[in-house]
A = this chain, B = another copy of it.
Amino acid sequence: MGRWTTMVLYGLVLAAVVATLKYVEYRFMVKSLSTEVYIGVVAALFTGVGLWLGSKLITAKKVVQVAPAAVVDHQAIRSSGLSARELEVLQLMAEGLSNQEIANKLFISLPTVKSHSSSLFTKLEVKRRTEAVHRAKSLRIIA
């Protein structure tokens, strides 16, 4: 349900309640209904309306707030000691690319990619690319 639709409904409910109260008052001439009772009823009613409104308007915000939790920890990246290029190579590794494909994508030679890989492995203290990817993800260095 859209925000505007909800707002319009809110207005309609308010109008309806006021009309109903006036109608009841007119029908039964119950002037004895004290203001306190009126207030109590209306307060309770609109607390409910507020709750309902809240569930419609607030929920969406909370959900999108929680879902995209920070995927990477920039502090972790800095303290990892990885250079910009090494990080790029690592990210492409994580996407399953071979060294040759990484070389093509970055317009550098295969030996260069291997060079970056090796130094990257040393810095992450691993021996294989799959291990590097796993470790980097647990450290939130990559998504």
Q: Contact residues of A with B, CB < 8 Å?
A: 10, 14, 17-18, 21-22, 35-36, 38-40, 42-55, 57-59, 62-63, 66-67, 93-98, 126, 128-135
What residues of chain B lie closer than 8 Å to A131, measured between beta carbons?
95-97
Residues in B neighbouring A134, C-beta threshold 8 A: 94-96
- Give A63's nearest chain B residue, CB to CB: B66
Q: How far is the CB of A10 from chain B (nearest CB, A)?
A: 8
List B contacts of A97 (CB < 8 A). Answer: 130-131
11 contacts between A and B (CB under 8 A): A10-B47, A14-B40, A18-B40, A18-B43, A21-B35, A38-B38, A46-B50, A47-B47, A51-B54, A54-B54, A54-B58
Contact partner of A93 (CB less than 8 A), chosen from B18, B58, B130, is B130
A132-B96 contact, Cβ under 8 Å, with A35-B38, A43-B14, A53-B51 = yes
Partner of A126, one of B50, B51, B96: B96
Complex Cα spacing A4 to B16, Å: 32
Closest chain B residue, CB of each to CB of A95: B134
**Chain B residues with CB under 8 A of A128:** 96, 98
Query: Chain B residue with minimal CB distance to A129?
Result: B130
What's the Cα separation between A46 and B55 when bound, in Å? Answer: 15
